[in-house]
Amino acid sequence: MQKSYADVNPCLPKTFNAANAISDMSQEESAHHSTEAELIAIRRQKLAKLRELGIDPYGERFATTSTPGELRENFSEGLKVKVAGRITALRDMGKSVFFEIGDVMGNIQGYLGLKTLNETAAAAWGCLDRGDWIGIEGETFLTKTGEPTVKVESFSVLSKALRPMPDKWHGVADRELKYRKRHLDLMGNADSAKIFVTRSLMIAEIRRFLQERGFIEVETPMLQDVAGGAAARPFETYHNALGMPLTLRIAPELFLKRLLVGGYTKIFELNRNFRNEGISRRHNPEFTMLEAYWAFSDFEQMAEMVEELTCHLAEKFCGGLEIEHKDEEGNVLRTIDLSRPWRRASYHDLIRGAAGEDFFTITADERRERCHQRGVEISPNMEDYEVIQQVFEKLVEEKTFDPCFVTRVAKELVPLAKLSPDAPTVEVYELIINGQEISPGYSELNDPDVQRERLEHQSGGEEQKVDYDFIETLEHGMPPAGGIGIGIDRLIMMLTGAPTIRDVVLFPQLKKRS
């Protein structure tokens, strides 16, 4: 007499009717009234049963012929394959089961005829749920609906999940939970997984792009005794063996320029920076930054390279140069057009267009009054150039969505850049896309005397904040060079349409729960 699925499945109640259990979830997870504790208890019973059957619920080496995503992408019928992945869907048809296994790179469907299983294998299968990792071996075929599928001849249990997966249809809806428990987000939200896979591929492509153009990747210290290369508050620490305070770097710039002095002519670093400042939709305390320096170049040539790189990434990974940005409900907020050539406009012209043609001819006090009239918040201790920068950020930057290279920036804002030959500005661009700075680029200042003066002025008389060793290095001679920084997290936000930096950083910094 042929045993029913319930008969050979001690993990299911004897009243279970497999013929009526057509579902996208395992039986225990279809019970919405069950608490998580109850679901975990059921899974622990299944864990124990697997061990009773002589099956290690945490598996061993399983040699695969391809990943689920690769198999689906390069599918052909009649192949003998071995594939492993997490069970993401189960459809129990009584005498057979359709299921999906996958990882962040993609899924493949499996088909299992239950009557082909021996008693031990059938009992083991009955102990599996969505979320478990398995390996399958079998032959590929297309279903009547044309779905690529593996007809399973045998399977191996690789890891029994004791906690249930997120709901199949809704994933992880709570945004804070997404960020605190990224593993749930990745297994429950295909769109999130796609963004992070794309991020990794983009970073690899950035490296390839630069290396093809002769740039050499280098590494510079993250622990520094003087936090230089940017105006930002550092994280502070202390090295016990050396008996000295150190900071986490806020930028690698000064060490990369030391390498230019040493004889490198095309270099880049792709790594983390740390700034002990606010957290927002656009800011995380640690972030990924690309910095690159090209001897005998200037800011114009670096701008061209950044434009070429960004468009290359968009065409390779985003399907073209038009990038849609949507709200949380999926409504299109705007479409960013990356078509070349990108706009170039001077800092002062943009501010005049937003704050009035007379903005730079009125007095400093009148400029402050203009800020109040235009709703730009300023503080009493701001210097005039800082007031002007606040106007730029609020009235220009935040309202600029298509790419714009902002040039001829005030020298007080960029103490490491060369003065323009015909104006009291510096040879700089600031690339604005989607209302935020994506990349600054300079013609680098290589005059050690001018650099000393600029850094001392920036420090406000606090000499301990000036890296005099860097200035001494410049006295050995640094070639003229162009330099760029690209905020990788912001770049990927823009290219993927992500609304917040937390959606492109795997583990964003969050306030500890009390």
Instruction: Give residue 301's domain range.
Output: 182-342+479-503
Residue 233 pLDDT > 80, yes or no? yes
In percent, how much of the chain has pLDDT > 70?
Answer: 93
Q: Map tokens 């057509």 to a residue.
A: 22
Q: For residue 356, what pLDDT is reported?
A: 96
Alpha helices, H only, 97-164 = 119-126
Residue 13 pLDDT > 90, yes or no? no
Are the C-beta atoms of residues 184 and 166 closer than 8 Å to each other?
yes
CB-based contacts of 41, cutoff 8 Å, min separation 6: none
Separation of alpha carbons 322 and 230, rounded Å: 32
Separation of alpha carbons 128 and 25, rounded Å: 11
Residue 152 pLDDT > 50, yes or no? yes
Quick one: pLDDT band at residue 326, thresholds 50, 70, 90? confident
Separation of alpha carbons 334 and 345, rounded Å: 22
Mean pLDDT taken over the chain: 91
Quick one: pLDDT band at residue 62, thresholds 50, 70, 90? very high
- 128 and 188 housed in the same domain: no
Rounded average pLDDT over 148-156: 98
Alpha helices, H only, 392-512 = 448-459, 468-474, 488-496
Q: What are the distances in angstroms from CA 2 to CA 53, 119, 300?
A: 21, 11, 78
Residue that terminates a domain, selected from 109, 128, 159: 159
- 148 and 241 housed in the same domain: no
Position 465 in a domain: no
Per residue in 249-300, pLDDT tens?
A: 999 999 999 999 999 999 999 999 999 999 999 999 999 999 999 999 999 9
Quick one: pLDDT band at residue 457, thresholds 50, 70, 90? confident
Q: For residue 330, what pLDDT is reported?
A: 79
- 107 and 189 housed in the same domain: no
Laid out side by side, the sheet with 404-410 consists of: 216-217, 266-274, 286-295, 481-487, 436-443, 425-433, 404-410, 343-346
Residue that terminates a domain, selected from 159, 190, 209: 159
Position 448 in a domain: no
- 229 and 310 housed in the same domain: yes
Position 425 in a domain: no
- 102 and 230 housed in the same domain: no
Residue 453 pLDDT > 50, yes or no? yes
Q: HSE on the CB side for 383, CA within 13 Å?
A: 6
Quick one: pLDDT band at residue 6, thresholds 50, 70, 90? very low
Alpha helices, H only, 162-298 = 175-180, 182-188, 190-212, 253-262
- 138 and 272 housed in the same domain: no
Q: For residue 169, what pLDDT is reported?
A: 57
Q: For residue 460, what pLDDT is reported?
A: 79
Residue that terminates a domain, selected from 124, 159, 194: 159
- 144 and 209 housed in the same domain: no
Rounded average pLDDT over 387-409: 96
SS3 224: strand
Position 220 in a domain: yes
Q: For residue 170, what pLDDT is reported?
A: 61
Rounded average pLDDT over 327-343: 91
Quick one: pLDDT band at residue 167, thresholds 50, 70, 90? confident
- 192 and 318 housed in the same domain: yes
Residue 173 pLDDT > 80, yes or no? no
- 124 and 227 housed in the same domain: no
Rounded average pLDDT over 406-425: 90
Q: For residue 172, what pLDDT is reported?
A: 74
Q: For residue 138, what pLDDT is reported?
A: 98
Quick one: pLDDT band at residue 459, thresholds 50, 70, 90? confident
Rg of the chain in Å (alpha carbons): 29
Residue 466 pLDDT > 60, yes or no? yes
Q: For residue 166, what pLDDT is reported?
A: 86
Name the token pair of 282.
């656009």
Quick one: pLDDT band at residue 174, thresholds 50, 70, 90? confident
Phi, psi of 106 (to 5 degrees): 145, 170
Q: What is the CATH number of the domain that holds 487?
A: 3.30.930.10
Residue 401 pLDDT > 90, yes or no? yes
Position 484 in a domain: yes
Position 49 in a domain: yes
Q: Map tokens 């990224």 to a residue.
A: 182
Q: For residue 3, what pLDDT is reported?
A: 36
Most confident of 4-8, 18-22, 114-118, 173-177: 114-118
Q: What is the CATH number of the domain that holds 87?
A: 2.40.50.140
Residue 332 pLDDT > 50, yes or no? yes
Q: For residue 421, what pLDDT is reported?
A: 87
Least confident of 6-10, 295-299, 456-460: 6-10
- Domains in the chain: how many in total? 2
Quick one: pLDDT band at residue 33, thresholds 50, 70, 90? low
Position 495 in a domain: yes
Rounded average pLDDT over 455-476: 88
Q: Terminus-to-terminus CA distance in the chain, angstroms?
A: 59
- 53 and 16 housed in the same domain: yes
Quick one: pLDDT band at residue 414, thresholds 50, 70, 90? very high
- 224 and 85 housed in the same domain: no
- 190 and 118 housed in the same domain: no
SS3 24: coil
Position 328 in a domain: yes
